[in-house]
């Protein structure tokens, strides 16, 4: 099954006999803003207009645990995650489509969590809300309680030691911007640089100017150029495990299974005992 769905395909699915559950996961990374500029409010954006029937999901509260030793966006408590998904109407036998404001990172985080915990049919709206040319709604739905119970393990998951080992034995991709990988700038985490042996692979290069993913054959060619060959064991990390999920999604579109290092750089760099590499080369 394709991990993404186009706006036209979604419109047809919504008009069918078994429409998917829609989850709106609009979110932006909170960084220092100009004086007086409020941080992005995903719920406010949702309430101003969303796909009809969509339920808002808060990434920071429902798709992540509070920041701590596990990084800025640790994986959520599974019981709490399952309860949040059931409140949103998610059931194991009903398809789910997730979308965000167009960047794709937050939607990919929801996609990864649901698929990692065993949901068999979850897809991301390619291009997010900007790709949708149908009507929007301000009505907040009250979906019937779903029955989804998360059971982890359907996708690969790495901890810090696993990521370090994979950087040596396989291909560990760093989905952050190149300047953060090289250690030239680090706006969020304690130190700049990258996990030794990892390869710079900004996830922004997996999409076109319209925010839609490149065709599968172009993605396969890109990852081949980054060292991914048939049989390669592949892992991905980013700053906090959000944009890395977007790269795992791009790899899935290309037909390449990949594990996610959920703690990512925010966990790795918090421990001064862990080595840090800088510059353009993996080592």
Quote the pLDDT of residue 35.
Answer: 52
**How far is Cα 15 from Cα 73, in angstroms, rounded to an integer?**
35
Residues in a beta bridge with 69? none
- Rounded to a whole number of angstroms, the distance between the first and last alpha carbons of the chain is 37
Q: CATH 3.40.250.10: does it fit domain 157-268?
A: yes
**How far is Cα 263 from Cα 154, in angstroms, rounded to an integer?**
18
> Contacts from 83-87 at CB under 8 Å and sequence distance 24+?
84/57, 85/114, 85/146, 85/148, 85/150, 86/145, 86/146, 86/147, 86/148, 87/143, 87/145, 87/146
What CATH number is given for 4-131 in this structure? 3.40.250.10
Contact residues for 144 (Cβ-Cβ < 8 A; gap 6+) = 89
pLDDT of the chain, 283 residues: tens digit per residue: 799 999 999 999 999 999 999 999 999 986 544 556 678 899 999 999 999 999 999 999 999 999 999 999 999 999 999 999 999 999 999 999 999 999 999 999 999 999 999 999 999 999 999 999 999 999 999 999 999 999 999 999 999 999 999 999 999 999 999 999 999 999 999 999 999 999 999 999 999 999 999 999 999 999 999 999 988 999 999 999 999 999 999 999 999 999 999 999 999 999 999 999 999 999 8
**How far is Cα 122 from Cα 115, in angstroms, rounded to an integer?**
7
- For residue 48, the tally of other CB atoms under 10 A from its CB is 10
Contact residues for 80 (Cβ-Cβ < 8 A; gap 6+) = 62
> Which residue is listed with tokens 């019981």?
79
Residue 122 burial class via C-beta count within 10 angstroms: exposed 0-12, middle 13-18, buried 19 and up: buried
8 A C-beta contact, residue 198 and residue 166: no
Positions marked catalytic: 238
DSSP per-residue codes, 141-165:
--PPP--------SS-EE-HHHHHH
Kindly provide the b/e burial profile for residues 157-192, where b requires at least 16 CB atoms within 10 angstroms of the residue's own CB: bbebeebbbbbeebbbbbbbbeebbbbeebebbeeb
Report domain extents, the chain.
Answer: 4-131, 157-268
Contact residues for 257 (Cβ-Cβ < 8 A; gap 6+) = 155, 156, 234, 251
**Structure-token pair, residue 15:** 């008009």
Quote the pLDDT of residue 31.
Answer: 57
**How far is Cα 279 from Cα 57, in angstroms, rounded to an integer?**
37
Residue 64 burial class via C-beta count within 10 angstroms: exposed 0-12, middle 13-18, buried 19 and up: buried
**Structure-token pair, residue 108:** 């990919």
């Amino acid at each position: 099954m394709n991990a993404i769905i186009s706006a036209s395909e979604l419109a047809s699915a919504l008009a069918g006999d078994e429409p998917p559950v829609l989850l709106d996961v609009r979110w932006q990374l909170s960084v220092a803003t100009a004086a007086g500029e409020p941080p992005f409010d995903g719920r406010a954006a949702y309430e101003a207009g969303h796909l009809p029937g969509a339920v808002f999901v808060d990434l920071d509260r429902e798709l992540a645990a509070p920041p701590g030793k596990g990084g800025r966006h640790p994986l959520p408590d599974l019981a709490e995650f399952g309860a949040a998904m059931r409140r949103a109407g998610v059931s194991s036998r009903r398809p789910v489509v997730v979308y965000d404001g167009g960047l794709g990172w937050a939607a990919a985080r929801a996609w990864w969590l649901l698929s990692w915990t065993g949901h068999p049919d979850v897809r991301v709206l390619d291009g997010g809300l900007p790709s949708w040319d149908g009507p929007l709604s301000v009505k907040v739905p009250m979906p019937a309680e779903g029955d989804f119970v998360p059971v982890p393990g359907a996708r690969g998951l790495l901890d810090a030691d696993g990521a370090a080992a994979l950087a040596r034995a396989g291909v560990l991709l760093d989905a952050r911007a190149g300047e953060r990988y090289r250690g030239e700038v680090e706006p969020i985490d304690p130190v700049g640089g990258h996990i030794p042996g990892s390869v710079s692979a900004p996830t922004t290069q997996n999409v076109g100017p319209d925010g839609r993913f490149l065709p599968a054959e172009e993605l396969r060619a890109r990852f081949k150029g980054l060292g991914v060959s048939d049989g390669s064991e592949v892992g991905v990390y980013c700053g906090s495990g959000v944009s890395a999920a977007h790269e795992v999604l791009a790899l899935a579109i290309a037909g390449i299974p990949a594990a996610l290092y959920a703690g990512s750089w925010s966990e790795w760099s918090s421990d001064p005992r862990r080595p840090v590499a800088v510059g353009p080369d993996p080592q």
